[in-house]
Amino acid sequence: MAKRLNKGEKLYFTVGDIAGMLSVNESLIRFWNKEFDEILNPHRNKRGVRYFNNVDVETYKKIYHLVKERGYTLSGALDVLKSSTVVTDGNFEVINTLKTIRHFLTELKDEI
């Protein structure tokens, strides 16, 4: 039920959508939503279903990177996200770009 702006471009994402993007369980997304409630504020419909915007999705990607890949504790990740600066956000962008390039090169290698 995610609304779309253009073909393939969603405005809102559900817990399941985000869990699929990060390859984690939906329960982990719900847990992180509770733990990072100062930063994440999803829209809820009348039934209580959470809907996240693109900014929230990027925040979840940052949480995933900090907790799962860098080994931060939840409180440490919260501190980093609260004091997020242009440098930290820039580092996150560089890491995402490098991951995309790595994925592309791996696929290219497999085709050869």
Q: Is residue 46 part of a domain?
A: yes
Give the pLDDT score at 97: 84
Q: Is residue 6 part of a domain?
A: no
Q: Which phi and psi angles does 52 have, rounded to 5°? A: -110, 145
Total structural domains in the chain?
1
pTM of the model: 0.73
Q: Is residue 57 part of a domain?
A: yes
Q: Is residue 59 part of a domain?
A: yes
> pLDDT tens, position by position, for the chain (112 residues)?
455 545 567 889 999 999 999 999 999 999 999 999 888 888 889 998 899 998 899 899 989 988 998 899 999 989 888 887 655 666 777 877 888 898 889 988 898 8
Tokens of 35: 């733990």
Give the pLDDT score at 60: 93
Q: Which phi and psi angles does 47 have, rounded to 5°? A: -85, -5
Q: Which residues lie across from 10 on neighbouring strands?
A: 4
> Which domain, by its residues, includes 55?
15-111
Q: Is residue 4 part of a domain?
A: no
CATH number (domain holding residue 21): 1.10.1660.10
Q: Is residue 1 part of a domain?
A: no
Q: Is residue 94 part of a domain?
A: yes
Q: Is residue 10 part of a domain?
A: no
Query: What pLDDT, in 10s, does the model give residues 101-110?
Result: 988 899 888 9
